[in-house]
Structure formats: structure tokens, C-alpha cells
Amino acid sequence: MPSFRPLSRVPSSVLMALVLTLGVGSVSAAAAAPLTAHTVKRIAQRVVRHQARHLTVANADRLGGRPPEAFIDRAVMSAASNEISLKAAGPAPDQTLLGPVPISVPSGAGGILLQASVLVRAPAGQNMFVEIYGAVDAGCVPEAVPGIRNSQVARTVGGDLGSVSLALLVPVAPGAHSVQLCSISTNPFGHAENRALVVSSVGEATIVTDPSS
């Protein structure tokens, strides 16, 4: 004859949950018999099956209407530390400091974020203004990328180092894109040294114009 080991300490909250879930009648037979681990397991399985019929997982494979891959950041970095001469204003195209940098924007993403910094040096005893900007899917020709150019300008004096940085958010369609960091200088004898460009995809790309500008 099989023997049973009664569970001397079964939390009353567990039993009450089982009773309320399945109904008193459905567990009355189990309650009348010795309460064993096997019995509790069998009742718990019935609870799970009962509740599972009422569970739904809505929008499980899409988050906020976008596929999961849209939330995976993709970033590409290009950097250089060698000293190069800066090109002065003149016939297009302007000078390419870094790039082209390729990036693949996943489905559901809204754009790309450009972040760049450049160290520049003016000739001894001279002033220099340096402008940098980002070109997306185009060469370093500002007129070829209307609405995308968002430049920053630095001024250096007499051989001192100056730093110019850029942050640019560009709405783009999913797919393959190419980015260049471009520059133009007021002095043909200036130099650029350490420079870096980071291009990353973003889930949403919303540009808000400052009302005071």
C-alpha cells in the first residue's frame, strides 16, 4: 500500500488561492485526501492551465509600433591624430577631414546622430576661423545638402590650439548611409590635428527649433 507524506506546513494563502481560482468543488476531493507534494503540483498545474486561457500578449514582437531592432544602437567611429593642412575658402568641394563613414540604419529607426571634435592650430602671429560641418550621403559641398548643414566655427590666434565640436541630428530612412566630416578655413596655412567623428543610429529623430533663434 503506497504511503504518503503529508505536508505539515502548506501556507494557507496558497490553498486559498487554489480554492478561489478553481472553485471549492474542484479541490474538495484533493482537500479531503492527504495533501502531498504530488497533489499540490497537480493542482498548481490545473491553475496554470486555467489561467493561461485568459492570458494575452499584445504587440509582443513590436515595441511602440517599431520592431525590436530599432532599439539596438549602431555606432561607427572614425578618428585620426596626424596633422594635416586646412584648406582655405575656394572652389568646391570643401575639405574632408574624416570619412566617408558608412552606417546601416535599421528598420524602424528615425535618423542618425553625428558627434565630432577637431583640434586646429593657426599659423604663428595670425588669426584663423575654421568651420566644420557634416555631410550625409553627399560630398563636402554645402549647396548639395540643403537643410543638413549645421556648422560650428572656432577661432584660433597666433599658433594656439583651438577646439571645434559638432552635434548634428539628421532624420534619414532605414538603409545604408555615408557620412563625412567637412571643413573650410580662412587661412591656407592652418592645421588640424586630433579629430574624431562618431555616427550612431537613433530610434527617433526630432529637431526642435529654438523660438528665440
Structural domains in the chain plus CATH codes: 12-52 (no CATH), 69-202 (2.60.120)
Query: Between 61 and 89, where is the model more confident?
Result: 89
How many other CB atoms are there within 10 angstroms of residue 199's CB atom? 28
**C-alpha cell of residue 30:** 484533493
User: What are the start-end ranges of the H helices in the chain?
Assistant: 12-22, 24-32, 37-52
Q: What is the separation of C-alpha 113 from the centre of its chain, rounded to a whole number of angstroms?
A: 9
3-state secondary structure of 49: helix
Tell me the per-residue pLDDT of 87-132, one tens digit each, with 9 for 90 and over: 887 777 889 999 999 999 988 788 899 999 999 988 888 888 888 8
In this structure, are residues 150 and 88 in contact, taking their beta carbons and an 8 Å threshold? no
Q: How far apart are CA 89 and CA 23, in angstroms?
A: 84
pTM above 0.85, yes or no: no
Q: How far apart are CA 106 and CA 204, in angstroms?
A: 12
Among 65-69, 72-76, 97-101, 163-167, the range with the most confident prediction by mean pLDDT is 97-101
Tell me the per-residue pLDDT of 157-176, one tens digit each, with 9 for 90 and over: 777 788 888 888 888 888 99
Query: Exposed (0-12), middle (13-18) or buried (19+): which is 52, by Cβ within 10 Å?
Result: exposed
